[in-house]
Amino acid sequence: MTHDLLSLLRQHRLIELNHQYEEFMPVWPTHGKFFCSRAEDYPAGDGNYNCQLSLGDHCGTHVDAPVHFIEGGKTIEQVDVQQLTGRGRCLDMSHLAENADITREMIAAWEAEHGEILAQDIVIFRTGYDEKWRCRPHQAAFLQNWPGLSGEGAQYLIDKGVTVFGTDAMSLDRYSNEAHPAHLAVLGADCLIIENLANLRSLPTAFIFMALPLRIKGASASPIRAVALVE
């Protein structure tokens, strides 16, 4: 059985869905930034090279745990990581206007063309904002005006049995929606949100999605390494 699984995996092409972690990478202004410093190095006579990292738990491509918006919700080490492996569905919403809502009707129209979204599908929205990703001081375009999932759109997918929601933007909610209806609906249903995905232009409408968070006790989120497997 193990050999069969390996053979099946090797028949698929792997697509990287992460942004690179580097100093000056864009982060939400109130969140912890990313730093990488040399802890030991050859010129210092240490005989090896290793680094010390400092970063916020929502830095870069990451997954939100329910506690991020739900008091008493699961922290990241309590999340069932099996949720983060499954059939991915990439909904191309890059044609939308800035700061637009992705509505229930838009999702249903996409399904009519590309096939029904099913329970346990991992639903990812392509807004095109991964292509705006720039390091500071050129991050302004990435940090404003992205489209996002409406509360009713989120509830429609939750009712269908979707438990993981992803976006290439900084947040699943649209930029100016300070009520955060998508976050509250998704995390309130004990589901997960993945943000700052990359390279979504390369995805078909259906694929195998895989991502694993770090097991950080008490954290509200974790960096992930997300990949897609396509035939």
Amino acid 5: pLDDT: 66
Amino acid 16: pLDDT: 98
- Go through the domains of the chain in sequence order and give each one's CATH number: 5-20+56-230 (3.50.30.50)
Report the alpha-carbon distance of residue 53 to residue 226 in Å, rounded: 20
Q: What is the 3-state secondary structure of 147-210?
A: CEECHHHHHHHHHCCCCEEEECCCCCCCCCCCCCHHHHHHHHCCCEEEECCCCHHHCCCEEEEE
Amino acid 9: pLDDT: 72
Record the pTM: 0.95
Name the active-site residue from 19, 58, 68, 183.
68
Write the pLDDT tens digit of every residue in 135-149.
999 999 999 999 999
- Say whether pLDDT at 176 is over 80: yes
Host H or E run for residue 112: helix 104-114
Active site residue 68: yes
Write the pLDDT tens digit of every residue in 58-69.
999 999 999 999
Residue 190: left (phi > 0), alpha (psi -120 to 50), or beta? left
Residue whose entry in the numeric block shows the structure tokens 């210092």 = 44
Backbone angles phi and psi of 62, in degrees to 5:
-150, 165
Can you tell me the mean pLDDT for 103-120? 98
